[in-house]
């Protein structure tokens, strides 16, 4: 497969292993279109490269409208019975209401019972959790909702920085386009990296993108804190990451002694003060790298690192990629 330069027409390929795998994508009113279309396009691309996936879209009652108002044709989930290999549950902004739909949860548990694997995209994890399918499992969801997933479903071990998480036959992914990452990982697991890489290349995406969800947020992912002084410090660092944020200065702003602050901060925020400051600075530097052409030394000074080498080490720790590599992969296209 590695030698192919493009995906051939579907009729021109020989099946990789002769095994047809049925993929059931579960949608509902207000589901996110990309959560559905992304994985479907991956499986379709895999079919054109020699795989054999049969993709079905189902929802309770049949057709439904996705976010934005487009109408999707779908079969009735109530009529779906055995033979499903992989269940993919889409996310959507109305997930909280959908997760209380007893009929949907019943049929989700039913089709999941005999499936080889059960997966979700974005906030679809809340539906799996509400159905009891994630009890005792590791899982992830969109970074903006990881804290809520952990609070609403304490039996789930939430992994907040992962693009996707596999735990046995369960697999959950982060927000929106992470469904593509997850589907590519499933294709690679079913076949091989060469086939998955071919599909990824055709779709112009990474087979495995660098970094985790931390590249998309810092302050928004901090657990809620009650202390006004501590909240003020978090906001001040996010507003001015280049300032000289020592423990002493942060403690002064929080109206705490440095010793007490150093003890309270990690218990409330989840990381030590220096680590939080580093992550905020990485996020600030990443924004500059995405949108400008300044040299790395300038970016480092503007974001509070001081030197390009200090910034490089921080990027590798937080994102797993160098600042130059990040700029190459994530900067804006510049097309108006």
Q: How far apart are CA 262 and CA 257, in angstroms?
A: 9
Q: Work out the angle between the directed axes of helices 33-48 and 193-203 (0-180°, nearest 10).
A: 120
- Structure tokens given for 254: 């929080």
Local structure of 89: helix, strand or coil: strand
Q: Phi and psi of 218, rounded to 5°? A: -130, -65
Q: How far apart are CA 281 and CA 164, in angstroms?
A: 25
Residue 22 near residue 56, CB atoms below 8 Å: yes
Spell 311-328 as b/e; 16+ CB within 10 A means b: bbebbeebbebbbebbbe
Beta strands in the chain (DSSP E): 21-26, 53-59, 64-65, 71-72, 75-76, 86-89, 117-120, 138-139, 157-158, 164-167, 170-173
- Please give the distance of CA 148 from its chain centroid, rounded to a whole number: 15
Q: How far apart are CA 249 and CA 261, in angstroms?
A: 10
Active-site choice (46, 122, 127, 200) = 122
Reply yes or no on whether 146 is catalytic: no
- Please give the distance of CA 72 from its chain centroid, rounded to a whole number: 24
Q: How far apart are CA 180 and CA 198, in angstroms?
A: 14
Q: How far apart are CA 239 and CA 242, in angstroms?
A: 9
Q: How far apart are CA 71 and CA 35, in angstroms?
A: 15
Evaluated on CA atoms 158, 160, 165, 170, the torsion sign reads positive
Active site residues: 122
């Amino acid at each position: 497969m590695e030698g192919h330069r493009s995906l051939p027409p579907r009729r021109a390929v020989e099946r990789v292993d002769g095994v047809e795998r049925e993929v059931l994508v579960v949608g509902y009113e207000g589901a996110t279109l990309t959560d559905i279309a992304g994985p479907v396009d991956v499986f379709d691309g895999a079919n054109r490269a020699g795989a054999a996936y049969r993709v079905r879209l189902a929802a309770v009652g049949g057709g439904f409208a996705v976010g934005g108002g487009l109408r999707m044709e779908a079969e009735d989930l109530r009529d779906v019975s055995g033979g499903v290999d992989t269940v993919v549950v889409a996310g959507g902004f109305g997930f909280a209401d959908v997760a209380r739909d007893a009929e949907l949860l019943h049929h989700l548990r039913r089709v999941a019972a005999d499936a080889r694997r059960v997966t979700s995209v974005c906030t679809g994890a809340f539906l799996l959790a509400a159905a009891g399918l994630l009890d005792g499992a590791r899982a992830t969801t969109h970074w903006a909702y990881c804290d809520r997933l952990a609070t609403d479903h304490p039996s789930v071990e939430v992994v907040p920085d992962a693009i996707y998480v596999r735990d046995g036959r369960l697999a959950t992914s982060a927000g929106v386009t992470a469904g593509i990452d997850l589907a590519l990982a499933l294709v690679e697991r079913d076949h091989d990296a060469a086939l998955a890489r071919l599909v990824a290349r055709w779709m112009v995406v990474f087979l495995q993108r660098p970094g985790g969800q931390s590249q998309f947020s810092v302050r928004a992912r901090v657990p809620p804190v009650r202390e006004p002084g501590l909240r003020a410090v978090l906001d001040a660092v996010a507003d001015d990451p280049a300032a000289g944020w020592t423990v002493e200065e942060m403690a002064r702003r929080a109206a705490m002694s440095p010793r007490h602050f150093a003890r309270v901060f990690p218990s409330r925020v989840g990381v030590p003060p220096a680590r939080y400051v580093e992550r905020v600075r990485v996020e600030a530097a990443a924004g500059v790298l995405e949108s400008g052409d300044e040299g790395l030394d300038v970016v480092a000074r503007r974001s509070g690192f001081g030197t390009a080498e200090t910034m490089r080490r921080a990027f590798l720790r937080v994102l797993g990629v160098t600042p130059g590599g990040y700029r190459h992969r994530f900067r804006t296209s510049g097309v108006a």
